[in-house]
């Protein structure tokens, strides 16, 4: 999109008002914002006389696809061209900018998508341009053409006359036939960054001589979602809404959102489980004209920022967090696990989908917020399995400052079953650990740590004594999953505590991967099942079978075909007797 240049002449009352998105449209390649790589490629093509006969521009809405097509058309047909810097003043440049040039045809693919229009275009390309060097066809939303229309263009698109250029623009590149794509040079337009949009809007505000708060511009830039045109349109609307200084509060009121402070307070209340405070904040925001869909969008953005911060320990540059709250935000990201944040994003995405088909949006949002606030009370499945392995269920402890509402009976049950309330553990006679006693002690360790964890540890075989008071669990590479489980500090500590208690010595355990099963006992290979023994040809075997022969006599039939497998002995047991198939 365009860099803001000089302030266009203000329109007269008779001319009417021209929106900002049109008044500040880019006029040359240097004005394109966020698409510098595409501008450079097209400039090089013009300078080296390598302009292709067909281009296809794809990308998000409002990122400059059609504007770039017009700039390329001006560069090719300018009176001083072909040039990388069209003058913008000659008759060709002015007509192209206004969309009135007879040699540059801008076609809407949505309304001219039939095969008849494609055939007319194919018939007209043979005529040379009236005054320009090239006849240029710009087809916007080209994905709306019918398959028949695409087929009608194929031959012309592959070998057009030398005076014809095609430029296609689309937001849905997946709907373009491969046969069309293979005949065009493709350029992918990226979404424009928040900072680039904000800088451009600030320059427009300066040229329009309007006073705008930087926070208001940042808010509009974030809501543009990478589209410069959307940002300019919303900024235009906000300027019309404001009679004086454009503040972020006015922008929030215009679009039906709440300020970042309230979103922060709501997220903090959710993560700490303060359900009453959540409802109070929601009620206050609703009275101020909050739209439920906008709130969910803001929360999705906030949870996304939490996810990035939780992973990288750094607040993303485009986060919608006030600069004065960055430290508080990082502490909030640390208070929740990554799994909790990811589960929250899933709940918010589901709520966004449900809002599209409900007549009770507030109830859906309240349900979403209540579910989010209870995520910290849920026990991960892996933790439940570990607790079952250890012989009981530990009481779930809530993080500091979090509200918990467990039933008293259930709470007493959890506490009575926790390992700390099971009474004294049975005494185990200490046995000194050595190479001779290791097999027996290790068997006791595997039995003591529980069947599920023991099954994973058993895959390493006997550990290796690597030094004084040091054991190594050596897992072959085939058992990488078991190795990762045993590397978990909690599981490794449980194995080590059991070993120390049984051996009466303090040992240190290490876990490592080995290419060969070093330190493992050679497992006895189970004998392979004896292959099925065919008696003879299936049809011959069927003819000799007494039951089959009797059936043939009773029904007067004959054997036409015997499938493979007829006449194969069933598997035999240890005594050599054949086992009957229950099925």
Spatial separation of the C-alpha atoms in residues 400 and 408, rounded to whole Å: 20
Spatial separation of the C-alpha atoms in residues 238 and 264, rounded to whole Å: 24
Q: What is the pTM of this model?
A: 0.60
Q: Is residue 22 part of a domain?
A: no
Domain boundary pick from 237, 255, 273: 255
Parallel, antiparallel or unpaired: strands 470-476 and 464-467: antiparallel
Given this model, what pLDDT does residue 452 score?
79
Spatial separation of the C-alpha atoms in residues 260 and 189, rounded to whole Å: 30
- The answer on 108 and 39 residing in a single domain is yes
Question: What's the chain's length in residues?
Answer: 583
CATH number, domain containing residue 327: 1.20.272.10
384 to each of 138, 399, 405, how far by Cα in Å? 62, 18, 19
CATH number, domain containing residue 93: 3.40.50.300
- Nearest CA to 393 out of 424, 422, 420, 417 is that of 417
- The answer on 411 and 476 residing in a single domain is no
Domain boundary pick from 133, 158, 189: 189
Residues 430-448: pLDDT tens digits? 556 677 788 888 888 888 8
Q: Is residue 30 part of a domain?
A: no
Spatial separation of the C-alpha atoms in residues 124 and 160, rounded to whole Å: 11
- The answer on 401 and 458 residing in a single domain is no
Spatial separation of the C-alpha atoms in residues 103 and 96, rounded to whole Å: 9
What would you report as the CA-atom Rg of the chain, rounded to the nearest whole angstrom? 37
- The answer on 287 and 167 residing in a single domain is no
How many structural domains compose the chain?
A: 6
- The answer on 39 and 77 residing in a single domain is yes
Residues 34-65: pLDDT tens digits? 899 999 999 999 999 999 999 999 999 999 99
Given this model, what pLDDT does residue 582 score?
47
- The answer on 199 and 185 residing in a single domain is no
Given this model, what pLDDT does residue 378 score?
67
Q: Is residue 6 part of a domain?
A: no
Q: Is residue 427 part of a domain?
A: no
- The answer on 454 and 489 residing in a single domain is yes
Structure tokens that stand for 436 in this block? 């001779």
Residue 471, helix vs strand vs coil: strand
572 DSSP β-pair partners = 578
Given this model, what pLDDT does residue 428 score?
42
Residue 235, helix vs strand vs coil: helix
Structure tokens that stand for 242 in this block? 């404001």
CATH number, domain containing residue 462: 3.30.300.180
Q: Which residues of the chain have pLDDT under 50?
A: 13, 393-396, 404-429, 517-526, 528, 532, 534-535, 579, 581-583
**Burial (Cβ within 10 Å: 0-12, 13-18, ≥19) of residue 512:** middle
Spatial separation of the C-alpha atoms in residues 286 and 279, rounded to whole Å: 10
Given this model, what pLDDT does residue 525 score?
43
Structure tokens that stand for 383 in this block? 């933790």
Q: Is residue 16 part of a domain?
A: no
Under 8 Å between Cβ of 204 and 20? yes
User: Which residue range is the domain that position 481 belongs to?
Assistant: 438-514
Alpha helices in 314-424 (DSSP H): 326-335, 338-355, 361-373, 381-389, 408-417
Residues 158-198: pLDDT tens digits? 888 999 999 999 999 999 999 999 999 999 999 998 889 99
- The answer on 222 and 131 residing in a single domain is no
- The answer on 442 and 301 residing in a single domain is no
Angle at 190 between CA 344 and CA 157, to 5 degrees: 130
Q: Is residue 521 part of a domain?
A: no
108 to each of 74, 141, 185, 230, 556, how far by Cα in Å? 19, 7, 20, 20, 77
Domain boundary pick from 481, 514, 547: 514
> Strands of 464-467's sheet, edge to edge?
464-467, 470-476, 508-514
Given this model, what pLDDT does residue 384 score?
63
Given this model, what pLDDT does residue 431 score?
55
Q: String of b and e for 573-582 (b: at least 16 CB within 10 Å)?
A: eeeeeeeeee
Spatial separation of the C-alpha atoms in residues 277 and 301, rounded to whole Å: 21
Q: Is residue 523 part of a domain?
A: no
- The answer on 327 and 295 residing in a single domain is yes
Under 8 Å between Cβ of 17 and 214? no
- The answer on 471 and 361 residing in a single domain is no
First-to-last alpha carbon distance for the chain, in angstroms, is 72
Spatial separation of the C-alpha atoms in residues 532 and 210, rounded to whole Å: 89
Q: Is residue 12 part of a domain?
A: no
24 to each of 27, 378, 434, 475, 487, how far by Cα in Å? 9, 53, 82, 65, 59
- The answer on 241 and 301 residing in a single domain is no
């Amino acid at each position: 999109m365009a860099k803001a240049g000089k302030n266009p002449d203000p329109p007269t009352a008779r001319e009417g008002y021209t929106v900002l998105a049109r008044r500040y449209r880019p006029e040359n390649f240097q004005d394109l914002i966020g698409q510098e790589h595409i501008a450079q490629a097209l400039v090089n093509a013009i300078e080296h006389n390598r302009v292709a006969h067909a281009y296809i521009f794809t990308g998000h809405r409002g990122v400059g696809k059609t504007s770039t097509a017009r700039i390329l058309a001006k560069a090719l047909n300018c009176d001083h061209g072909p040039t990388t810097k069209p003058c913008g003043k000659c008759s060709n440049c002015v007509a192209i900018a206004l969309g009135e040039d007879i040699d540059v045809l801008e076609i809407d693919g949505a309304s001219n998508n039939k095969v008849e229009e494609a055939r007319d275009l194919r018939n007209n390309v043979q005529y040379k341009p009236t005054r320009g060097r090239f006849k240029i066809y710009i087809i916007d939303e080209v994905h709306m053409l019918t398959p028949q229309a695409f087929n009608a263009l194929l031959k012309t698109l592959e070998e057009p006359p030398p005076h014809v250029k095609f430029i296609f623009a689309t937001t849905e590149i997946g709907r373009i036939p491969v046969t069309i794509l293979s005949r065009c040079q493709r350029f992918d337009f990226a979404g424009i960054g928040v900072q680039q949009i904000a800088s451009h809007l600030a320059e427009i505000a300066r040229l329009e001589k309007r006073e705008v708060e930087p926070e208001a511009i940042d808010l509009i830039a974030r809501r543009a979602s990478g589209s410069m045109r959307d940002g300019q349109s919303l900024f235009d609307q906000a300027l019309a809404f404001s009679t004086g200084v454009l503040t972020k509060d006015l922008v929030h009121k215009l679009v039906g959102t709440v300020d970042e402070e309230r979103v922060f307070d709501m997220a903090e209340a959710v993560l700490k489980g303060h359900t009453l405070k959540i409802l109070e904040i929601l009620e206050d925001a609703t009275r101020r004209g909050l739209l439920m869909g906008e709130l969910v969008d803001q929360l999705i953005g906030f949870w996304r920022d939490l996810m990035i911060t939780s992973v990288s320990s750094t607040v993303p540059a485009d986060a919608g967090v006030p600069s004065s709250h960055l430290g508080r935000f990082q502490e909030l990201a640390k208070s929740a696990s990554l799994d909790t944040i990811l589960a929250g994003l899933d709940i918010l995405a589901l709520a966004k989908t449900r809002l599209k088909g409900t007549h009770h949006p507030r109830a859906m949002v309240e349900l979403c917020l209540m579910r989010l606030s209870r995520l910290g009370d849920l026990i991960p499945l892996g933790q439940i399995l570990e607790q079952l392995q250890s012989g009981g269920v530990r009481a779930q402890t809530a993080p500091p400052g979090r509200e918990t509402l467990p039933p008293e009976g259930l709470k007493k049950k959890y506490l009575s079953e926790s390992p700390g309330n099971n009474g004294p553990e049975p005494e185990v006679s200490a046995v000194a650990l050595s190479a001779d006693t290791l097999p027996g002690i290790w068997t006791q360790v595997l039995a003591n740590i529980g069947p599920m964890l023991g099954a994973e540890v058993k895959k390493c075989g006997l550990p290796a004594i690597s030094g004084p008071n040091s054991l190594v669990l050596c897992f072959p590479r085939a058992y990488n999953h078991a190795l990762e489980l045993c590397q978990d500090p909690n599981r490794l500590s449980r194995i080590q505590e059991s070993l120390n208690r049984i051996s009466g010595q303090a040992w240190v355990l290490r876990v490592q991967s080995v290419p060969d099963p070093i330190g493992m006992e050679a497992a006895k290979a189970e004998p392979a099942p004896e292959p099925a023994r065919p008696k003879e040809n299936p049809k011959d075997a069927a003819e000799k079978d007494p039951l089959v022969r009797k059936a043939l006599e009773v029904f007067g039939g004959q054997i036409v075909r015997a499938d493979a497998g007829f006449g194969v002995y069933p598997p035999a047991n240890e005594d050599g007797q054949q086992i009957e198939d229950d099925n």
